[in-house]
């Protein structure tokens, strides 16, 4: 008999957390329906969301475990695969193994993965790609507010009087959040956009501050300088709810609009106007993303953003706040449940003795107490030969990490590499063993959207071939390695365990989140969730100011490498393209990589639209098609990093922020060369 | 200031209007030079998207010439043209593009005089209307 | 009314008049289309003017009804439709996308309030089994405002509206009558690919024109737009024009052919329209 169902689930792409239905006819995925009753998406989707069914039914999906024998992959059984992994992983000391978890997997799976690393492998070396996007947010906002997450909810943006977007191409990267910015603007809100590039939002902005890449601290200090000079700061808020103001005041003093103009290239009048608009708004929201975080000064940038919000009292009320937009469907969740080397779930420090004891008791096993390695450190250690084996779940560092030539060397230097993914990615191709996982449509679990909303994803179709949900694979491995505490019958049971050891998730259970989800902190079963943070009191008590001096990026253009390269994404693709490049509608729009170059620079170099040029940095060289444009200013080029044939990350600098260890994707020095014409 | 020289695209059917234009030429009738002609087999092949594409690429006016109703070489091709152009003009007007920038005329192979007249008149009209407003985005 | 509908659906199922019922179901406070095969399931049956039943499934680009018909050519389907959905079905059948022979229509009329909310000109199916035929909504403030303005103001309005477009193709994807295998909106020939906003007004013009004789004014295009572009404003007006020019309305009768596919002899056009 005919069976037709619509299964409500969360979009697997960005962190907006849009919901849609997977249309299933007789067990076959036939399409996607928007969900009109969902809070954020309200029946609307972006092009990626509308086409999120394509890659699920792609022919390239992995269906069987693969093992590399004589340089070629052969299919093997699950039994054999688990046996090999178990035997191999058992050989190494805890210091020689590491685990990469995934922001594409559910909270439950990330929790299990970090439990696997800590309780089974006895190492804290577990990390995931949040290191590469918002590590500086977790550190920065942790320092100033006490909680490294988006302070307010997405929908609240609509009612702000002023929205300050800095380092976020919201329209392309978080289209459904841009919807609320546009709606706010339609209601009369002022929009300030700070971005070196012309992005879709700039044409609607009241003020476009076009800073030189890597000078955000100077810009933010400049705004604060103006605010203090004019006396627009919220004195009551500063007195009652913050500390460290004197330090900030001292540092900001010298960042006069004239001085900042020299550093950033933004006319001083614009800085003064923008400062006035932001400071005088009743409720001003600050929205930022990778343009702030992916710098060697990432933490400084984030702290400066929160300084600005604290100074004007724009925290702890609706439609205000400092709002980092998280890039992946569950990158917020993966951080929340502790897939990080220094914290357990709920950001409970590994180094803290009480926490350590609590988890040892909860999991009934001994746990390591030294913080582990971060992604970039793992690659460095692997290259040196100190790290022997890595277990990667659903990540593709071969395209996503900085300086990928180095990454390749590191991964090839490993004695054993297991990759668990849904496609044979660039990274999986280097693996000794590949385990087939399932896509979002084939499993149950929860994703946490960027505004801390924990939502259900639901299984719509059966896994392809012999592929298995990641949580089952991890459990099977753990059991095979002789560990207890991995006997779960369903993801719901795992979530109950997460709730029991994680105060901020304490009240979350599947029975409460079937319809709209809950926003953490949600400490108890009666707690209604928290739409905006820091109401009345900051998570750390008082909001803290830090005086931050401007520092230049790690690598600046010079005579040999005269251009600044900045990297990013387009609306039509997603990260390493593993999913989007297998989607016809998206591939048609942007089939391959390109470099945006200003028309004046193009003229000087005598290069034309569509021409293939070589772009070279101190670390690598790629060939890529030219797009002559006004979008980038003179002296800056932009390359999206999705494309394996022109990988922007062959060029980028792996220099990282000293605290957050986030690499500097947004600034490095490169040279653009016209290719010699054929004789 | 230089006088506005419009760019006008004329889609003319092979059997009637194009032949009519030919006759006008052979008869040495005076016509303004702003007219760029594209010969098509039937006015019924003109997709309104062609017209919009021409506007998008900077044309100031678009002329569509076909056989008189009843004379179509393909029986009823021009019936469809007539209906489509009616709809097209409506949509253009809602979008804010003056529908007078599109003109549909029936000109037979024998009507060289009429061809010269409608072209002269159309060019004058476009000159009055000024440059295509969509063109502005190409400047600056 | 919903109780009456459940009773009616139950009768249809029990009597064997239909084997399945296609309608809206409520689950966890969310509404979605569902196929009801058992009487017990009908408890969760709901009707809502905001939620359409039929979408073109992508990537196959076939309507869900067609997918079902292809798999189960002999199954009798009872479909609970509102006015707009019935028009969609009729228009799809007219254009050989689905067959009506196995479809049993259970028509439900919307209330006047619901019609106002949807700006619906015909909030009832041809033969409603439930509800009364109430008057539709014809006036549209958007249109009136625009038609009072000059060319340059209209153009400026649309340029600013359309420049918000993020090329999600939601207007097309949500449209029950956008089923072309090769969609002109996707072709580089007409609108440059890989760029947002897409070319203005070409990208949206394609839909306005292609939907001129098909649009059934369900408004799903506008409701699907993440940037709140008032797309229905133009489609509504064009539909009015088609009615005026050809005395034709889409979605009323399977046998009535579109004026744009027929000759002037078969379906004449009001004179003076080309001027």
Judgement on whether residues A348 and A408 belong to the same structural domain of the protein: yes
What is the CATH number for A255?
Answer: 3.40.228.10
User: C59 and A584 in contact by Cβ < 8 A?
Assistant: yes
CA-to-CA distance for B84 and B94, rounded, in angstroms? 16
Judgement on whether residues A610 and A467 belong to the same structural domain of the protein: no
Residue A550 lies in a domain: no
Count Cβ–Cβ pairs < 8 Å, chain A vs chain C.
Answer: 134
Q: Are strands A348-349 and A343-344 parallel, antiparallel or unpaired?
A: antiparallel
Residue A613 lies in a domain: yes
User: C228 and A186 in contact by Cβ < 8 A?
Assistant: yes
Higher pLDDT, C275 or A470: A470
Span A40-68, mean pLDDT?
A: 94
Which residues of chain C have a pLDDT value below 50? none
CB atoms within 10 A of CB C193: 16
Judgement on whether residues A188 and A317 belong to the same structural domain of the protein: yes
Q: Among A19, A35, A57, which residue terminates a domain? A: A57
SS3 of residue A573 by DSSP: coil
Q: Does residue A679 have a pLDDT over 80?
A: no
Among residues A143, A135, A241, which one has the least CA distance to residue A534?
A241
CA-to-CA distance for B130 and B132, rounded, in angstroms? 7
User: C154 and B133 in contact by Cβ < 8 A?
Assistant: no
Under 8 Å between Cβ of A591 and A572: no
Judgement on whether residues A212 and A71 belong to the same structural domain of the protein: no
pLDDT in tens, B78-90: 999 999 999 999 9
Judgement on whether residues A493 and A630 belong to the same structural domain of the protein: no
pLDDT in tens, A184-195: 999 999 999 999
Q: Write out the residue range of the structural domain in which residue A48 sits.
A: 4-57
- DSSP sequence for B36-56: EEEEES-GGG--HHHHHHHHH
CA-to-CA distance for C167 and C185, rounded, in angstroms? 10
Under 8 Å between Cβ of A654 and A375: no
Q: Does residue A361 have a pLDDT over 90?
A: yes
Burial of A1 (0-12, 13-18, 19+ CB in 10 A): exposed
Strand partners, A378: none
User: B49 and C205 in contact by Cβ < 8 A?
Assistant: yes
CA-to-CA distance for C32 and C22, rounded, in angstroms? 11
pLDDT in tens, A648-672: 999 999 899 999 999 999 999 999 9
Residue A371 tokens, joined = 């913080």
Residue A207 lies in a domain: yes
User: A36 and C37 in contact by Cβ < 8 A?
Assistant: no
pLDDT in tens, A252-291: 999 999 999 999 999 999 999 999 999 999 999 999 999 9
Return the pLDDT at B140. Answer: 38
CA-to-CA distance for C88 and C221, rounded, in angstroms? 14
pLDDT in tens, A114-136: 999 999 999 999 999 988 889 99
The domain total for chain A is: 4
Judgement on whether residues A509 and A409 belong to the same structural domain of the protein: yes
Judgement on whether residues A629 and A514 belong to the same structural domain of the protein: no
Q: Among A281, A301, A325, which residue terminates a domain? A: A325
Residue A89 lies in a domain: yes
SS3 of residue A272 by DSSP: helix
Residues of C with CB under 8 A from a CB of B: 146, 151-158, 184, 190, 199-202, 205-206, 208-209, 212-213, 233-234, 237-238, 241-242, 245-246, 259-260, 263-265, 269, 273-274
Under 8 Å between Cβ of A88 and A480: no
Q: Among A461, A494, A519, which residue terminates a domain? A: A519
Judgement on whether residues A255 and A152 belong to the same structural domain of the protein: yes
Check if A176 contacts C (Cβ < 8 Å). yes
Under 8 Å between Cβ of A209 and A192: yes
User: C209 and B49 in contact by Cβ < 8 A?
Assistant: yes
Return the pLDDT at B138. Answer: 45
- DSSP sequence for A427-464: TGGG-SEEEE---GGG--EEEE-TTSEEEEE---SPPS
Residue A542 lies in a domain: no
Check if A1 contacts C (Cβ < 8 Å). yes
Lowest-confidence segment of A210-219, A463-472, B97-106, C266-275 by average pLDDT:
C266-275
Residues of B with CB under 8 A from a CB of C: 48-49, 52-53, 56, 69, 76, 79-80, 82-91, 93-98, 104, 133-134, 137
Which residues of chain B have a pLDDT value below 50? 138-140
What is the CATH number for A21?
Answer: 2.20.25.90
Closest chain C CA to residue B64: C274
Under 8 Å between Cβ of A317 and A283: yes
Distance to chain C for B32, nearest Cα, Å: 23
Judgement on whether residues A495 and A512 belong to the same structural domain of the protein: yes
Judgement on whether residues A663 and A573 belong to the same structural domain of the protein: yes
Closest chain C CA to residue B55: C202
The model's confidence at residue A678, banded by pLDDT at 50, 70 and 90, is low
User: C190 and B96 in contact by Cβ < 8 A?
Assistant: no
User: B91 and C264 in contact by Cβ < 8 A?
Assistant: no
Judgement on whether residues A378 and A433 belong to the same structural domain of the protein: yes
Judgement on whether residues A151 and A246 belong to the same structural domain of the protein: yes
Span A78-87, mean pLDDT?
A: 96
pLDDT in tens, A414-453: 999 999 999 999 999 999 999 999 999 999 999 999 999 9
Higher pLDDT, C144 or A647: A647
Element (H, E) at A304: helix A298-311
CATH 3.40.50 given to domain B9-133: yes
Q: What is the DSSP letter of A200?
A: G
């Amino acid at each position: 008999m005919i069976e037709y169902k619509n299964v409500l689930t969360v979009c697997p792409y960005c962190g907006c957390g849009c919901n849609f239905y997977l249309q299933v006819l007789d067990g076959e995925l036939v399409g996607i329906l928007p969900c009109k009753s969902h809070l954020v998406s309200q029946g609307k989707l972006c092009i990626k969301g509308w086409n999120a069914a394509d890659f699920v039914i792609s022919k390239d999906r992995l269906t069987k475990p693969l093992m590399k024998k004589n340089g070629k992959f052969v299919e093997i059984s699950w039994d054999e695969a688990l046996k090999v992994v178990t035997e191999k992983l058992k050989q190494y000391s805890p210091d020689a193994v590491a685990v990469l978890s995934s922001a594409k997997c559910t909270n439950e799976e990330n929790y299990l993965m970090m439990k696997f690393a800590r309780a089974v492998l006895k190492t804290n070396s577990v990390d995931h790609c949040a290191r590469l996007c918002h590590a500086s947010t977790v550190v920065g906002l942790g320092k100033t507010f006490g909680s490294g997450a988006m302070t307010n909810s997405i929908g609240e943006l609509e009612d702000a009087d002023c929205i300050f977007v800095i380092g976020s191409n919201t329209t392309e990267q978080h289209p459904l959040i841009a919807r609320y910015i546009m709606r706010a603007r339609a209601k009369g809100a002022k929009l300030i956009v700070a971005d070196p590039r012309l992005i879709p939002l700039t044409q609607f902005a009241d003020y476009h501050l076009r800073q030189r890449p890597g000078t955000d601290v100077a810009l933010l200090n400049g705004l604060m300088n103006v605010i203090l000079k004019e006396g627009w700061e919220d004195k009551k808020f500063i007195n009652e709810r913050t500390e460290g103001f004197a330090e900030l005041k001292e540092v900001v003093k010298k960042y006069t609009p004239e001085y900042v103009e020299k550093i950033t290239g933004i006319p001083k009048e614009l800085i003064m106007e923008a400062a006035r608009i932001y400071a005088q708004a009743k409720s001003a929201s600050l929205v930022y993303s990778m343009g702030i975080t992916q710098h060697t000064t990432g933490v400084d940038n984030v702290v400066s953003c929160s300084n600005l919000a604290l100074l004007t009292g724009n925290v702890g009320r609706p439609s205000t706040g400092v709002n980092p937009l998280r890039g992946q469907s569950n990158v917020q969740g993966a951080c929340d449940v502790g897939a990080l080397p220094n914290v357990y779930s709920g950001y409970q420090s590994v180094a803290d003795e009480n926490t350590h004891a609590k988890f040892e008791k909860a999991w009934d096993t001994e746990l390591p107490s030294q913080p582990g390695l971060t992604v970039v450190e793992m690659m460095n250690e692997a290259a040196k030969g100190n790290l022997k084996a890595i277990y990667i779940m659903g990540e593709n560092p071969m395209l996503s990490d900085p300086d990928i030539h180095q990454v390749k060397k590191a991964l090839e230097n490993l004695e054993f590499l297991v990759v668990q993914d849904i496609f044979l990615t660039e990274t999986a191709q280097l693996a000794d063993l590949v385990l087939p996982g399932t896509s979002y449509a084939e499993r149950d679990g929860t994703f946490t959207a960027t505004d801390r909303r924990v939502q259900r994803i639901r299984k719509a179709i059966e896994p392809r071939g012999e592929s298995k949900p990641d949580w089952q694979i991890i459990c099977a491995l753990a059991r095979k390695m002789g560990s207890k505490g991995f006997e779960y019958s369903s993801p719901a049971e795992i979530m109950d365990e997460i709730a029991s050891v994680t105060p901020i998730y304490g009240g979350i259970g599947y029975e409460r989140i079937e319809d709209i989800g809950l926003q953490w902190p949600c400490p108890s079963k009666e707690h209604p969730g928290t739409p905006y943070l820091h109401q009345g009191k900051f998570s750390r008590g008082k909001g803290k100011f830090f005086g931050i001096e401007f520092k230049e990026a790690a690598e600046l253009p010079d005579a040999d490498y005269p251009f600044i390269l900045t990297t990013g994404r387009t609306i039509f693709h997603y990260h390493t393209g593993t999913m989007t490049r297998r989607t016809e509608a998206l591939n048609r729009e942007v089939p391959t990589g390109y470099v945006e170059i200003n028309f004046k620079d193009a003229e000087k170099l005598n290069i034309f639209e569509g021409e293939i040029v070589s772009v070279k940095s101190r670390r690598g060289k790629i060939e890529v098609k030219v797009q002559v444009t006004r979008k980038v200013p003179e002296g800056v080029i932009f390359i999206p990093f999705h494309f394996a044939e022109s990988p922007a990350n062959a060029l980028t600098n792996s220099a990282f922020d000293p605290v957050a260890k986030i690499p500097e994707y947004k600034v490095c020095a490169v040279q653009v060369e016209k290719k010699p014409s054929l004789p | 200031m230089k006088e506005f020289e419009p760019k006008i695209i004329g889609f003319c059917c092979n059997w009637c209007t194009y032949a009519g234009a030919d006759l006008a030429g052979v008869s040495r009738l005076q016509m303004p030079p702003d007219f760029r002609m594209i010969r098509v087999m039937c006015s019924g092949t003109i997709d309104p998207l062609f017209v919009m594409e021409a506007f998008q690429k900077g044309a100031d006016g678009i002329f569509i010439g076909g056989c008189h109703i009843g004379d179509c070489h393909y029986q009823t091709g021009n019936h469809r043209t007539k209906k489509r152009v009616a709809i097209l003009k409506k949509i253009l007007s809602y979008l804010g593009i003056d529908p007078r920038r599109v003109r549909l005329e029936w000109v037979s192979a024998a009507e060289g005089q009429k061809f010269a007249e409608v072209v002269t008149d159309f060019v004058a009209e476009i000159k009055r209307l000024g440059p295509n407003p969509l063109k502005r985005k190409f400047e600056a | 009314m919903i109780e009456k509908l459940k009773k009616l659906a139950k009768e249809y199922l029990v009597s064997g008049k239909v084997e399945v019922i296609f309608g809206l179901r409520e689950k966890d406070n969310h509404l979605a289309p569902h196929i009801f095969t058992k009487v017990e399931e009908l408890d969760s049956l709901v009707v809502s003017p905001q939620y359409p039943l039929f979408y073109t499934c992508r990537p196959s680009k076939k309507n869900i009804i067609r997918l079902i018909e292809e798999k189960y050519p002999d199954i009798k389907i009872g479909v609970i439709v509102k006015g707009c959905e019935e028009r969609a079905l009729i228009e799809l059948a007219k254009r050989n996308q689905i067959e009506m022979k196995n479809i049993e229509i259970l028509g439900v009329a919307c209330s006047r309030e619901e019609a106002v909310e949807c700006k619906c000109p015909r909030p009832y199916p041809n033969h409603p089994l439930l509800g009364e035929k109430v008057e539709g909504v014809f006036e549209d403030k958007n249109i009136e405002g625009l038609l009072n303005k000059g060319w340059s103001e209209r153009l400026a309005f649309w340029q600013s509206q359309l420049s918000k477009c993020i090329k999600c193709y939601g207007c097309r994807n949500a449209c029950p009558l956008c089923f072309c295998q090769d969609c002109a909106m996707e072709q580089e020939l007409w609108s440059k690919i890989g760029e947002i906003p897409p070319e203005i007004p070409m990208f949206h013009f394609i839909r306005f024109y292609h939907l001129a004789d098909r649009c059934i004014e369900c408004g799903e295009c506008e409701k699907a737009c993440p940037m709140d572009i008032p797309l229905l404003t133009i489609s509504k007006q064009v539909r009015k024009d088609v009615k005026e020019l050809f005395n034709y309305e889409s979605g009323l009768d399977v046998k009535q052919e579109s004026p744009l596919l027929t000759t002037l002899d078969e379906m004449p056009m009001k004179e003076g329209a080309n001027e």
